[in-house]
Structure 1
Amino acid sequence: MMEKIRTAANSIIVKIIFSIIILAFIFTGVGGFLGFGSSAKDEQVYIAKVDGEGISRNTFEKQAQELIQKNSHLIGDGSDDSFVKMIRASVLSNQIDNYLAYKFADSLNANISDEQVKMEIRKQPVFFENGRFNNQRYLQLLAANGYTPDTYADGLRSAIKQQQVMDALFLTDFVLPTDSDISLLDNQTRAIYLANYSIDNINDNDALAVSDDEIKNYYDTNKQEFYHDKRVKMKFVTNFLPAIKQDIQVLPSEVEKYHADSKDGTMIPEKRLYSVLSFTSLDAAQKEYNLMSKMQGKQRSSTKMDSLGWFALDEKLPELLTKIKLDTIGSISKPLEQDGDFYIIRLDQIEKAKKLPFEYAKASIHDLLYQQKIDKKYREQQTALEKAAKLPTLDEIAKKSGLPLYDSDWTYEKENFSVGRYPEINDVAFSDEMIKDGKPTGKISDIINIAQYDGSYIIQVTDYQDAGISTFEDVKDSIKAKLIAEKKKQIFSQKVATLLAQLKQTGVADGLSFAQKMSVTQNLVDDRINEKTVKDVFATIPAVEGNSYGVTLIGDDKAQFFVLTGVTYPEKADDLSEKIKPEMLILNRNSLAKDLRSKAEIKIMPNANL
């Protein structure tokens, strides 16, 4: 719920915007927005009253529902009552503030001429046809919404008056002297010296000592922290292809020899160009064949035929080409039948095989040899593992196969990091075959194949624990490491504070060397300095005489000390009016809204559902 509220606060809550009350077609008008006087049906007609004038419930509900519908992807099925109420409250707040701003502008008696109203009307796209203002459309739309030109002009006159007053209050562009000072700060450059310091500098073994009593007390106090699901420990032998890849190397001399021997992948194969004639009958094909057979080679080669294209000898050939054996340029095949049609094939050109340049071929040769070596090693190890698999102990299997024997740490069901992450191994390790009556059976598994990673394992469960709290002996080393790390962080934090005090007092500190000189600007991005350090540098007040010192903690284990030695200001202050205007606009609008509300009588109806 809180996440939804944060999302809404940043994206859909209606802001306090003092703009023209009559929105869109400008047909709502103040008359459609407010009701006047008092009646017994106030709660049904109005959602709220401001200085005795009611805000229309119908208008409110329409705007609220539009906003709720627009953001239905955040509300889901609409059952999120708190979220809906938050939207409704923001809509009503906006309507109240807009009305108060309207009344405030009206009270100033600003003069809006008839010509200004006329110009505003002629600018509104709703009255346009074919890109231009259309008077007939204007009159039709007014009449359809119950307006006359005079009543519409009066409402618009009030709206323009409000807009002008609010623009005069909020949209001025001048920069105060203070704004110029902000510009100087924003664009200045600060000269610093930087020194990095980390938790690794802490090596006080006496201070970091942890007693057995401390370890035992932590265990007794935080036992639930050491709850574990059921788990096993295993011994295993593996033939694992990814591990083999890490050990395989291909020497440059091997690549060179492979290329010199013209083996597969080093040659561009012979290519041949063919043409074809097609016939619908064998008689026609045979007649043409007899005619072409009598031609001289040059004449036969010049006979017009349809090109079949180039074909390399090592690629898959079309069915027709597999039926012929032509080795001489200009030679033709006898008529060939395929799917009821008949064809004559002619060999037009031959491009002999040639060797690829070494520089072009060496990368693919390297990859080929690398993969061949991997496959060979894997097959050899797999054969050895299969021969040794029936031996009575894992030690003998490992020795016979030449593969190493591993001991796993605790492995859990649905493990993510250990050897148990493979479902094939997990299923065997936690099966009745391996565990009986809460104890390991000692049985050695058959070869378990992990097809996804080209690996195979033989396992033996050596220990088993049901779900529960780990024993003190199991976790005391990890507790000790944790307590030492926490002490180290505390000492590190204290040491950083001590070093900063030394710097401020004497200008030097033990173990710090300010060898890194930098010029820092507000928006500096540099690998040498953390962005938090940049902010702290500019938050540091420069000393009147001498240097200023500071430090930035980066997490629990790193710090950056800095010495601020000087500040350089720009020759001319930039105009920051546009940069700071949005924040000033919000601040001024909120202030005006607060002031106007403090002078108004606002009554929210009990059944507003906010």
Structure 2
Amino acid sequence: MMDNLRAASNHVVLKIILALIILSFVLTGVGNYLIGGNGDYAAKVNGQEISRAQLERAFANERSRQQQMLGDQFSQLASNDGYMRQIRQQALSQLIDEALLDQYAKTLKLGISDDQIKQAIFTQAAFQTNGKFDNAKYNGIINSMGFSADQYAEALRKQLTTQQLVNAVVGTDFMLNGETDALAALVSQQRLVREATINVDALAAKQSVSDDEIKNYYQQNKNSFMSPEQFRVSYIKLDAASMQEAVSDADIQSWYDQHKADYTQPQRTRYSIIQTKTEADAQAVLAELNKGTDFASLAKEKSIDPISARKGGDMGWLEPETTPDELKNAGLTHKGQLSGVVKSSVGFLVVRLDDIQAEQVQPLADVRNAIADKVKQEKALDTWYKLQQKVSDAASNDNESLVSAEQAAGVKAVETNWFSQDNVPEELNFKPVEQAIFNGGLLGENGTPGSNSDIITVDGDRAFVLRISEHKPEAVKPLNEVQAQIADTLKHTKATQQAKADADKILADLKAGKQDALKAAGLTFGAAQTLSRNGQDAITQAAFALPQPQQDKPSYGTSEDMQGNVILLALDEVKSGTMPDAQKKAMVQGVTQNNAQIAFEAMLSNLRKEAKIKYGAGAQLQ
């Protein structure tokens, strides 16, 4: 049982089980079970052919899934032929597994009744409207996939049969009550432990190291003392925000006149409707309204449009571009006016005009400040783009320095201090700028300053032109820079070795019953503390590895804390813990599910070993 518990942390839900979710299977290629290709096959599984068309569809589905999951990163991975071959192999492996499971289900004479097929179709959310099965929707979806109703039912039967096999395997594992209680007690066990700390830092302060030891360590570990590649960079920054200037009233008026539609709310109209299936029903509704029956009450009772009916027929405010033609053509001109019976694409309507709101235009005075800001920004961006081109031309024509670019920009270049990829100056801390500096394109031969960069735009309204002033390649730091660091490392190493040796000696004395050993070393055990098995620190792990104390005598051991100190442990007592029923139930569910997954993997592995699988030319096509 404990072996199963430890294994539980190393397994995930099998992909084959996840693949058996009916809807995703239907929408991503279940048709391939029925619609094979006529070209080269991809594989034969015990004589059952997996066509090239099936593989191409499965490959496309897996590629699409990976693209949705990885986003922009997928484009880079997709350029790798090896990665795409791996996706293709995964898709083919999945098809082979599905074929093996289908064949095994037939061997076991598993079957799905017609009633089960119907129930599966009726309960699929994709085929429902407002929580009820929609036959038109169902036919539309399966027809778009190239299925007839019989073909879809047969494909679904295959899938449900395979799922029945999976459920049979997954439901076989269980735990007895005695096993559950024993496992719960073990998992929730607690241990009372005292600690004594051998302080490594205090021991390190007493250590000494020779010059030869430092030199030898330096020679043997030079790669640990590398100074990263460093740069000094000169740059010119062009910031559109700094180029904003005051704008005139004429500029603001002109912009307002050109964009008046942005500040205009067109005429809006509000209608209420009652929708019926037949013209006769609409005529009956109209007659009721003409007798004075309340429109909202009648809409809630008679209208077949569920959305507007809940609101008493109210369609809300509609602008001209959102008003259906049937309402526009109803000929209604004043509030409260009723239409006649209006034929529409969804049946028949009776329409009432509830209200009209005239076109409204915000006056310039109300939006003047906002427009002024927009005009300033537009003019600044225009100046910025023109200056970019001017500076870019100057930087490329005089590629030996930034002098010409400075003259074109009207500002002096700024030069940074030395920096590496780990401490880029905040002013240059933009990914495109960093890429230009560190990709080597701006360096000349042997790391000398090379050419000016192109214009590099960042954040949409800032741009840089760069030039590397000086460059230092990656190099080993000289001994004098790291001598103190090495001495400290050697002292701590010696101190740790001494602490462990001292701990081993004290531990041996304690186990031999010499209780004064700890006092002789100037150490004392602290107060007892309770540790739980779920602790992940080294001390907890060491405490739970100790044997149980015997006859009121502690069990002793050693460990290390997070600071590297050596810890002596005294285990005084082991307590059986308790576990809430809900937590115990979750634990049992996790263990049994893991065991079932292991069993399923083993079954699938055996099916593969016993199967005759032959790969065809279609498996190799790219």
After TM superposition, the score normalised by the length of structure 1 is 0.50
Aligned position for 1:174: 174
Q: Does 1:539 align with 2:545?
A: yes
Does structure 2 retain, via aligned residues, the 8 Å contact 1:223–1:469? yes
Aligned position for 1:485: 492
SS at match of 1:17: helix
Cα 1:472–1:80, aligned 2, differ >3 Å: closer, same or farther? Answer: closer
Identity among equivalent positions (%) equals 28
Aligned position for 1:69: 67
Superposed counterparts of 1:226-245, under 5 Å: none
Aligned position for 1:185: 186
Cα 1:111–1:90, aligned 2, differ >3 Å: closer, same or farther? Answer: closer
Cα 1:505–1:100, aligned 2, differ >3 Å: closer, same or farther? Answer: farther
Distance 1:135 1:487 in 2: 80
Aligned position for 2:410: none
What are the ranges of 5 or more consecutive residues in structure 1 without an aligned counterpart? 1-9, 232-411, 424-465, 525-529
Q: Cα offset for 1:562?
A: 2.1
Does structure 2 retain, via aligned residues, the 8 Å contact 1:19–1:166? no
Q: For residue 210 of structure 2, what is the amino acid of its counterpart? A: S
Q: Cα offset for 1:94?
A: 2.6
Tell me which of 45, 57, 60 is aligned to 1:59: 57
Instruction: For residues 107-162 of structure 1, give each alpha carbon's deviation from its aligned partner in whole angstroms, at most 9, with x where no partner exists.
Output: 21134332222211211223223431133444454455454444433332332222
Cα 1:169–1:605, aligned 2, differ >3 Å: closer, same or farther? Answer: same
Q: Cα offset for 1:566?
A: 2.0
Cα 1:128–1:68, aligned 2, differ >3 Å: closer, same or farther? Answer: same
Cα 1:504–1:552, aligned 2, differ >3 Å: closer, same or farther? Answer: same
Cα 1:166–1:223, aligned 2, differ >3 Å: closer, same or farther? Answer: closer
Cα 1:591–1:567, aligned 2, differ >3 Å: closer, same or farther? Answer: same
Q: Does 1:47 align with 2:42?
A: yes
Superposed counterparts of 1:80-479, under 5 Å: 80-171=80-171, 174-176=174-176, 177-202=178-203, 205=206, 208-218=207-217, 413-414=418-419, 479=486
Does structure 1 retain, via aligned residues, the 8 Å contact 2:201–2:492? no
Does structure 2 retain, via aligned residues, the 8 Å contact 1:191–1:566? yes
Q: Cα offset for 1:61?
A: 2.3
SS at match of 2:530: strand
Instruction: For residues 230-286 of structure 1, give each alpha carbon's deviation from its aligned partner in whole angstroms, at most 9, with x where no partner exists.
Output: 99xxxxxxxxxxxxxxxxxxxxxxxxxxxxxxxxxxxxxxxxxxxxxxxxxxxxxxx
Q: Does 1:551 align with 2:558?
A: yes
Cα 1:488–1:34, aligned 2, differ >3 Å: closer, same or farther? Answer: farther
Q: Does 1:596 align with 2:607?
A: yes
Q: Cα offset for 1:170?
A: 0.6
Cα 1:602–1:540, aligned 2, differ >3 Å: closer, same or farther? Answer: farther
SS at match of 2:193: strand
Does structure 2 retain, via aligned residues, the 8 Å contact 1:25–1:126? no
Q: Cα offset for 1:185?
A: 0.9
Aligned position for 1:387: none
Cα 1:583–1:505, aligned 2, differ >3 Å: closer, same or farther? Answer: farther
Instruction: For residues 335-367 of structure 1, give each alpha carbon's deviation from its aligned partner in whole angstroms, at most 9, with x where no partner exists.
Output: xxxxxxxxxxxxxxxxxxxxxxxxxxxxxxxxx
Tell me which of 602, 606, 620 is aligned to 1:608: 620
Aligned position for 1:279: none
Instruction: For residues 206-236 of structure 1, give each alpha carbon's deviation from its aligned partner in whole angstroms, at most 9, with x where no partner exists.
Output: xx343344344445666777777999xxxxx
Tell me which of 576, 579, 583 is aligned to 2:594: 583
Distance 2:594 2:168 in 1: 17
Distance 1:499 1:156 in 2: 71
Moved more, 588-597 or 20-29: 20-29
Q: Cα offset for 1:540?
A: 3.1
Q: Does 1:515 align with 2:513?
A: no
Q: Cα offset for 1:73?
A: 2.8
Cα 1:92–1:14, aligned 2, differ >3 Å: closer, same or farther? Answer: farther
SS at match of 1:16: helix
Cα 1:587–1:541, aligned 2, differ >3 Å: closer, same or farther? Answer: farther
Cα 1:145–1:514, aligned 2, differ >3 Å: closer, same or farther? Answer: same
Superposed counterparts of 1:10-29, under 5 Å: 15-17=15-17, 20=20, 23-24=23-24, 26=26
SS at match of 2:15: coil
Does structure 1 retain, via aligned residues, the 8 Å contact 2:63–2:87? no
Distance 1:478 1:595 in 2: 58
Aligned position for 1:319: none
Aligned position for 1:340: none
SS at match of 1:488: helix
What are the ranges of 5 or more consecutive residues in structure 2 without an aligned counterpart? 1-9, 231-416, 428-472
SS at match of 2:192: strand
SS at match of 1:516: coil
Structure with the larger helix share: 2
Distance 2:217 2:193 in 1: 44
Aligned position for 1:241: none
Distance 1:599 1:578 in 2: 31
Instruction: For residues 512-550 of structure 1, give each alpha carbon's deviation from its aligned partner in whole angstroms, at most 9, with x where no partner exists.
Output: 4222211222346xxxxx833223323334245443223
Instruction: For residues 1-35 of structure 1, give each alpha carbon's deviation from its aligned partner in whole angstroms, at most 9, with x where no partner exists.
Output: xxxxxxxxx9x998232754865373778661378
Instruction: For residues 360-379 of structure 1, give each alpha carbon's deviation from its aligned partner in whole angstroms, at most 9, with x where no partner exists.
Output: xxxxxxxxxxxxxxxxxxxx
Instruction: For residues 548-584 of structure 1, give each alpha carbon's deviation from its aligned partner in whole angstroms, at most 9, with x where no partner exists.
Output: 2232223572133322222222467833222324433
Q: For residue 602 of structure 2, what is the amino acid of its counterpart? A: S
Q: For residue 187 of structure 1, what is the amino acid of its counterpart? A: S
Does structure 2 retain, via aligned residues, the 8 Å contact 1:193–1:515? yes
Cα 1:156–1:220, aligned 2, differ >3 Å: closer, same or farther? Answer: closer
Distance 1:110 1:413 in 2: 73
After TM superposition, the score normalised by the length of structure 2 is 0.49
SS at match of 1:506: coil
Q: For residue 126 of structure 2, what is the amino acid of its counterpart? A: V
Does structure 2 retain, via aligned residues, the 8 Å contact 1:190–1:567? yes
Distance 2:501 2:514 in 1: 19
Cα 1:228–1:103, aligned 2, differ >3 Å: closer, same or farther? Answer: closer
SS at match of 2:92: helix
Instruction: For residues 291-323 of structure 1, give each alpha carbon's deviation from its aligned partner in whole angstroms, at most 9, with x where no partner exists.
Output: xxxxxxxxxxxxxxxxxxxxxxxxxxxxxxxxx
How many pairs are equivalent?
366
Does structure 2 retain, via aligned residues, the 8 Å contact 1:189–1:569? yes
Distance 1:471 1:100 in 2: 65
SS at match of 2:95: helix
